[in-house]
Structure 1
Amino acid sequence: MKANGNNNNKKAGAETPPQAKSSSWSSFLKSIASFNGDLSSLTAPAWILSTTSLVEFSSYWTEHPSVFVAPAAEKDPAKRAMLVLKWFLSTLKQQYASRSEKLGSEKKPLNPFLGELFLGKWEDEAGETRLVSEQVSHHPPVTAYCIWNANAGVRLQGYNAQKASFSRTINHIRLPNASVQQIGHAILHIDEYDEDYLITLPSLHIEGLISGSPYVELNRCSYIQSSTGYTAKIDYSGKGWISGKSNTFSAVLYPQGKEKEAIYTADGQWNGAFVIKNAKTKEVVDTYDPEKTKVTPLTVAPIEEQDDYESRRAWKKVADAIIKGDMETTSFEKSLIENRQRELRRLEKEEGREWYRRFFTRTEKISLFEKLAGKIGEQINDSLTNGVWAFDQEKASQAKPPFHADVPFFKSESEESSEVYESARESANESSKATSETASMA
């Protein structure tokens, strides 16, 4: 095992080719503006792709393991709830701003294929914290994850899907933007107190589309509801047309149902520093600054040692082509994976069977979710996530590579159906043609 950080490549996405910066970007904007349906199902041009699959994004929850496990050491329930709020807020920069800060703009992550896995661990003063992330559904796309630190007795599990749409108006200003509704939730459990926290997910929109430098802005609000009777409400606001700061939030922690009797408040920028205060005395009780908080690198197996269904190994040829700016090869290798997946789904349908998930199981309901969600009016929306997903400890204890020995991920051209390769070649040719056309127009 070796520490690879969040990206196995030198870059998480290639520099946008010059020919794609003007006419091709405008053409793409026109295509999504006229698209009728969920944008997550729209195939993006290769030159705006990230080298990272969406299944890796689960790791952003725990890039500061010591902050993740800190609530377990606090005996006071109100202070524990405050520390859970602090941990959640500390994850937002990594989840929603780290990629655009690193690359200059937000890139579209690779759409995970059904059964795709991302496995890793963090090791620091908090001990060992482990991660399992699995793509449990493709239509709609749903990623499930479980993160745990056995020494501290802290465990996070959840799943999420995203429903994207295109809008021409935001904050009453007519500007094109993509809105993303995050569907799903996470539940944090602390063994020492047999305590649970339901975490809802913020909505977001993609700004900067006109300039060709997209970035994420959070909006509306999200909640953290504890089983001990505390509620945290986080309100998000972006930079207004005239005034205000981008990435701003304000949060309040209060006894359930008593929002006007706040115990703690938190204010700042979710991609920067924030302050937590005693709501009554206004005394600062805690602070957080990402510039002063060390990110613990995630350790994953070297690609050559990974299972074929592990994300970085599966997408390696695509990622390499993106970094080189080879859009024709990017389209070919990406289409090859997608076409193989379509073929697998066709065979499963013909044979009346369903893909076997290695670490997670679909359940009818989660009573804990229903109990906590009812306190904040949250809906489970299982029809939008292809069911309710839970980490299956029995499955996990038996899971070992090769994870799907009976379904090889990689095949030679002679082993593959001719339709799979022919379709991939057509996609590559179309990409090459589109690149040539935009180059001649630039």
Structure 2
Amino acid sequence: MSLTTASTKCLDEKKGQEQTKSAWFQFLKSVMTFKGDLTSLTAPPFLLAPTSIIEYSAYWAEHPRLFVAPALEADAEQRALKVLQWFLSTLREQHASKDEAGKRKKLKPLNPFLGEIFLGRWHDDSAGVTELVSEQVSHHPPKTAYKIFNKAHGISLEGHVAPKAYFSTTINIERKGHGVLHIDRHDEDHLITMPKVHVEGIMTFQIAPELSGVSYIHSSSGYVSRIEYASKGWLLKGKSNSFIATLSKTSEPSKPLYTLEGQWNKSYTIKKGGDKSKATATVDLASLRRTPLTVAPLAQQHPLESRRAWHAVAAAIEANDILGVGREKSAIENAQRALRVEEKNDGRVWNRRFFREVRVMDDPTLARFVDDVALQHAEGNGNDDVEGIMSWKFDEDKYRRTVQNAAEGVKSPTHTRFDSGIGMIDDEILVGA
């Protein structure tokens, strides 16, 4: 490469970086003055990730051996500890600012459309097959329901997440919703709530998500884990991505049986007893290797499956094709608006494919936690509003019928679709129902 060519390339890269920073600060200015949920705000293409938020459900089980480990434990206290350790293993890749290759992640994933689905499996030599079913059950406000299950080990995770973003000195994300890990062998449930997220480095363009607040894991066998998150903060005290977690009996929350402390993106120590106890083990989270999630080839996916639906948008993002991103996103968004108008005119609503909405009090599993303050807080309800707590429940019959019909080649009537894979879909969602 000649000096002239190299010099021109450097100048082009510098110009591109300056344009990106300028666009970022323009976007940040709009964020600061925006009223409402930031998830609905259109982000510049350089911030967009080529994946939908619906894929985030996969972070729960990217380490299948840790996911099934509680089902193999006979002692209730040790099961609660293994559930806590599995939960901590889900945080690193989900919230890290860089991927495994060291490449900085894009800040803004794609907003799922109503009815979007994401299906996949993990194949592990010791854990066997773990399946994932995820569906966007609401668009306003956004809610993603998920079911992850390993039938061989009799363990499953079911729940929903409803993110809401707002600006207050920085970008903050609250995640309403909850998950319930169920272990068949012991008829045991673990209620899981999620931490808050805020974005650091927005003024220096060194964007990095941080966890804050407190999240809980409540076990029906009488144990509770409390995880408190901390970051370096404005005064540069402490370490980034820090946490301290305690496992206690529900009846004695101030007397820790175990204390886990460290950084959720690196490593942590395990102490038997309180914070001042001697560490008995160290867990290296950074050394964990994810089991790849297997999804169907694009051509074999249902038109509503996330990667097929967004493939043209994702390709445009990867190619840094700003006009292409706008064109393809608009095709999907316009189709969705037209479908909502059609439904309204016909006096009907979108029928969810794999999930149904239920009152917590009417569901035997969730009813175990109906008086749980953590559940009420996670759902945004007051202590006097337990009647109003709703959740999304996986419909096993619908799922199995749909899988069977797909295997037998049963197809449902559809209307014309747009090139992006999403169109005026009518009864297709009822396939197998």
- TM-score band w.r.t. shorter chain: 0.7 to 0.9
1:192-227: CA deviation from partner (whole Å, max 9, x where unpaired)? 111000000111111121122322100010000000
Q: Work out the CA distance in 1 between the residues paired with 2:33 and 2:389.
A: 27
The question of whether the paired residues in 1 share the 8 Å contact of 2:271 and 2:281 is answered with: yes
Matched residue, 1:322: 317
Q: Which residue of 2 aligns with 1:33?
A: 32
* 1:220 equivalenced with 2:213 (yes/no): yes
**Deviations along 1:218-241, whole A, 9 cap, x unmatched?**
001000000001000000000031
Distance of 2:80 and 2:416 partners within structure 1:
44
Question: CA, structure 1 residues 286+188, in 2 after alignment: closer, same or farther (shift >3 Å)?
Answer: farther
Structure 2 vs 1, CA of residues 382 and 252 (structure 1 numbering), >3 Å: closer, same or farther?
A: closer
Partner of 1:129: 130
Match of 1:399 among 384, 389, 402: 402
For the structure 1 residues 217 and 274, does the alpha-carbon distance in structure 2 shift closer, same or farther, using more than 3 Å as the test? same
Distance 2:328 2:411 in 1: 21
Distance in 2 separating the partners of 1:87 and 1:403: 39
Match of 1:203 among 187, 196, 212: 196
> What do you get for the CA RMSD once the two structures are aligned?
2.6
Q: Are the aligned partners of 1:116 and 1:311 in contact in 2 as well (CA < 8 Å)?
A: yes
Structure 1 pair 57–408 and aligned structure 2 pair: CA distance change class (3 A): farther
| Secondary structure, aligned partner of 1:262 | coil
Q: Check 1:403–1:209 CA distance in 2 against 1; reply closer, same or farther (3 A cut).
A: farther
Change (3 A) 1:321 1:129: same
Give unpaired runs (5+ residues) of structure 1. Answer: 1-15, 169-176, 418-442
**Between the two proteins, what is the percent identity of the paired residues?**
45
SS at match of 2:87: helix
Secondary structure of the residue aligned to 1:21 is helix
Q: Structure 2 matches for 1:11-50, cutoff 5 A?
A: 17-18=16-17, 20-50=19-49
2: CA distance between counterparts of 1:278 and 1:407? Answer: 59
Q: Which residue of 1 aligns with 2:333?
A: 338
In structure 2, C-alpha distance between the alignment counterparts of 1:311 and 1:167, rounded to whole Å? 31
Maintained 8 Å contact 2:193/2:374: no
Question: Partner letter of residue 268 of structure 1?
Answer: G
Q: Any idea what SS the aligned residue of 1:357 has?
A: coil
Check if 1:275 corresponds to 2:269: yes
- Alpha carbons of structure 1 residues 373 and 298: separation in structure 2 relative to 1, 3 Å: same
Match for 1:239 among 232, 247, 255?
A: 232
Query: Once structures 1 and 2 are overlaid, which stretch shifts more, 202-211 or 367-376?
Result: 367-376
Q: Closer, same or farther in 2 for the Cα pair 1:98/1:302, shift >3 Å?
A: farther
After TM superposition, the score normalised by the length of structure 1 is: 0.83
Moved over 6 A (4+): none
TM-score (norm 2): 0.85
Cα 1:342/1:331, change in 2 over 3 Å:
same
Q: Aligned-pair distance for 1:288?
A: 2.4
Unaligned runs of 5+ residues in structure 2 are 1-14, 382-387, 425-433
Q: What are the residue-to-residue correspondences of 1:290-329 with 2, within 5 Å?
A: 290-329=285-324
Once residues 333 and 219 of structure 2 are traced to their aligned partners in structure 1, the CA distance between those partners, rounded to angstroms, is: 41
Is residue 225–residue 376 contact of structure 1 (8 Å, CA) maintained in 2?
no
> Are residues 1:186 and 2:186 paired?
no
State the distance in 2 between where 1:160 and 1:86 align: 21
1:52 matched residue in structure 2: 51
SS at match of 1:220: strand
CA distance 1:144–1:382, change in 2 (3 Å): farther
Contact 1:234 1:252 survives alignment (8 Å):
yes
The 5-angstrom pairing of residues 113-128 of structure 1 reads 113-124=113-124, 125-128=126-129
Following TM superposition, by how much is the alpha carbon of 1:272 offset from its aligned partner in structure 2, in angstroms? 1.2
Report the counterpart of residue 432 of structure 1 in structure 2.
none
C-alpha distance in 2, partners of 1:358/1:144? 11
Q: Distance in 2 between matches of 1:346 and 1:83?
A: 48
* Contact 2:143-2:162 within 8 A present in 1 as well: yes
1:258 paired residue number: 252
Q: How many residues align?
A: 394
Partner of 2:202, secondary structure, is: coil
Match of 1:371 among 368, 386, 398: 368
Which secondary structure does the structure 1 equivalent of 2:369 belong to? Answer: helix
CA distance in 2, matches of 1:249, 1:394: 40
CA distance in 1, matches of 2:389, 2:181: 22
